[in-house]
Amino acid sequence: MPDITKQLTIDEVYDRLQAIHEFSESHPEEWRNEIARDMNHLVGRAVWWIETDHDETDQKFGAAVLRIVERVAEFEKIEAKGKHNE
């Protein structure tokens, strides 16, 4: 898991959100696909806000989304598109 104590710049948040987007909706379990859809929606909205306004509020929101989505993906084993489920 990335170092969560470091304050990321808005560009770093944006780049990391872009790198993890988007999550696969092809898991064998439908509940994982539902979580993936929700996370895709959250990441997409955070990216949109950063692209639209690019201000401090968007940086804080994007960083919060990033922290939560990364943790949920790791904990629930939600794979990004292009990665194979194991």
Q: Where are the domains of the chain?
A: 10-76
Task: Please give the pLDDT value at position 26.
Answer: 93
3-class secondary-structure state, position 80: strand
Average pLDDT over residues 8-30: 92
Both ends of the chain: CA-CA distance in Å? Answer: 19
Rounded-to-integer distance, Cα 31 and Cα 58, Å: 29
Per-residue pLDDT band for 85 (boundaries 50, 70, 90) equals: very low
Rounded-to-integer distance, Cα 82 and Cα 9, Å: 27
Task: Please give the pLDDT value at position 21.
Answer: 83
In the predicted model, is pLDDT for residue 78 greater than 80? yes
In the predicted model, is pLDDT for residue 1 greater than 90? no
Task: Please give the pLDDT value at position 63.
Answer: 94
Task: Please give the pLDDT value at position 83.
Answer: 56
53-66 b/e (C-beta count within 10 Å ≥ 16 → b)? eeeeebbebbbebb
